[in-house]
Structure 1
């Protein structure tokens, strides 16, 4: 099949990932992760990185069927195994000259169907424990990383089932450029992307200045009351690392987010988008939190519920909240009116919560009080045009944040 994007558009996308979102420079090492179907973008990123002066670009492709082979046929010793050479790569990634570009876009569905949930859980828990140092460095913005999307035939068919495969892939590729403000109408090069992430960062700063002590989320099936500890920071757009480097971890992005007090979340939630998770489309997720912990979880099927629960339960804090993110309905993704069946895009179309790990840099002082520490992280979209977000300040005053799908600050 011919390339999905013209050469100049593909180079613009790759350059935005490498230069604007990762701030890659001379002498840096870049690891690029993706699936075989992402080859067009993987090569373009490598070209961009070497033009930027990278010392080495390591392209790592992971085939979901190889993962299935390990889980289905591997010994107990194979579950969660991370070889020493892979750990060395990750330690360099977590260092000052390392960076990671992870490419998302599901190439197939059902690749874990029929595998016992217990084996999947053991595999994840062991690997997560071995690689926790990298995950923590990324969440605390001590390591450079970004995640971006690329179409596959399967994913594009989910989003545009009415189109022939090649047309669907091209349409999805154009969507990704538009959502990242990388079209000709958005300006030269990555200027549109840079302006956008700077605007999101300014909104996060506004939320921080409100010094909120609590957050109420109200919508169809959702009534959540979240506590925010003193010194809570809101983040979004570009994040500043300890050395002053600025990175954009998500392409695209619309969210302003923080970590609520993991010890004090109360109420119910209902997902407004299906969840694409490990090769499975999960619908009808809803649940209840008491005392900061998820005490009830439901899904359209019992098997799907157990699939999600087994993931959260791989970690003692997996049932506590690590993130709440606010997104209004006016984002380009939201205005498209489509479900993209991919967390990167769908979480930037609607407000969401995430169970598991929180973000240490959402606190102005250390230690990061009330931030959940966990080896898991699962985003659930609960927003839409009917969601209302209200901030509560230290004096108990109610501050409308989102009404009728639009920001009020």
Structure 2
């Protein structure tokens, strides 16, 4: 746990300062691209397109409290750079790369096919019914609320361990989340009501279930709003 949390060295604070600086650099670059779409492709069959909200932004690492301005890390460990996608804009199929622990069972080797933003078809080698339960838990539970980018070359992934705890395992691989999105992924979210955030495209749901999709060969391409392409991930890791 200390290794995966970057706390096993002689100066963990310095290690986190460097890590936060790297995550901030990733966010700044991605936000500068003004992306419209993320395209995921992998050898296991993953072929998925996800639309992004025009004034959304990628976030990661350290955050600052509103009003007091205190800098803190809300999640440790944390390897992800994440964004909330446009509600209703997901097309294609995605295959899991790690089991999903849900209500005491493991959903293993599963796939989700999205059509018009909704999970239209699901399959799992083990505990498929649990996966069907997730996407049937109310409005928005069958839609995406998060796209998170995590390099395959990261501490939890390199440990070779499955923690069977999403807050650890999500930091081992790129992941998506079914259910509620994050309002703070909207630029200037402090000015908006919850209803306005939903109107802009943030998914609303009673759940937020992360599932891992990152593989050693995962490629992610971004389509910018000017039509240009930008390579985001190559062979499971950052392409920039």
Summarize deviations over 1:303-358 as a string: whole Å, max 9, x none.
x2222322332221100100000111121112223333221222111101000010
Matched, 1:399 2:237: no
Q: Distance in 2 between matches of 1:247 and 1:265?
A: 33
1:249 paired residue number: 74
8 A Cα contact 1:353 1:380, kept in partner: yes
Shift of residue 406, structure 1, vs aligned partner: 2.2
* Match in the other structure for 2:96: 271
Which among 213, 220, 234 is matched to residue 58 of structure 2? 234
Q: Deviations over 1:37-96 (max 9, x none)?
A: xxxxxxxxxxxxxxxxxxxxxxxxxxxxxxxxxxxxxxxxxxxxxxxxxxxxxxxxxxxx
Q: Find the counterpart in structure 2 of residue 328 from structure 1.
A: 151
Shift of the alpha carbon at 1:384? 1.4
- After superposition, residues 283-298 of structure 1 pair within 5 angstroms as 283-298=108-123
- How large is the Cα RMSD of the aligned pairs? 1.6
Task: Mark the structure with the bigger radius of gyration.
Answer: 1
Write the distance in 2 (CA, Å) between the matches of 1:236 and 1:379.
Answer: 16
Aligned to 2:7: 182
Mapped to 1, the partners of 2:113 and 2:134 lie a distance apart of 17
Deviation string 1:351-383 (CA, Å, 9 cap, x unpaired) is 010000100011114433111011101111011
Higher strand share: 2
1:199 alignment partner, one of 5, 9, 22:
22
Higher relative helix content: 1
C-alpha distance in 1 between matches for 2:215 and 2:168: 14
DSSP 3-state at the match of 1:204: helix
CA distance in 1, matches of 2:74, 2:211: 18
Ranked by relative contact order (alpha carbons within 8 Å, sequence separation 6 or more), the top structure is 2
State the Cα deviation string for residues 270-303 of structure 1 (Å, max 9, x = none).
Answer: 10101122221220211100111111111113xx
Conserved 8 A contact 1:205-1:235: no
CA contact (8 A) 1:321 1:372 kept: yes
What are the within-5 Å matches in structure 2 for residues 8-407 of structure 1?
Answer: 176-185=1-10, 187=11, 190-219=13-42, 220-243=44-67, 244-301=69-126, 304-365=127-188, 366=192, 367-368=196-197, 369-407=200-238
Greater Cα shift, 204-213 or 240-249: 240-249
Unaligned runs of 5+ residues in structure 1 are: 1-175
Measure the CA separation in 2 of the matches of 1:370 and 1:285: 27
Cα-to-partner distance string for 1:126-148 (whole Å, 9 max, x where unaligned): xxxxxxxxxxxxxxxxxxxxxxx
User: TM-score by structure 1 length?
Assistant: 0.54
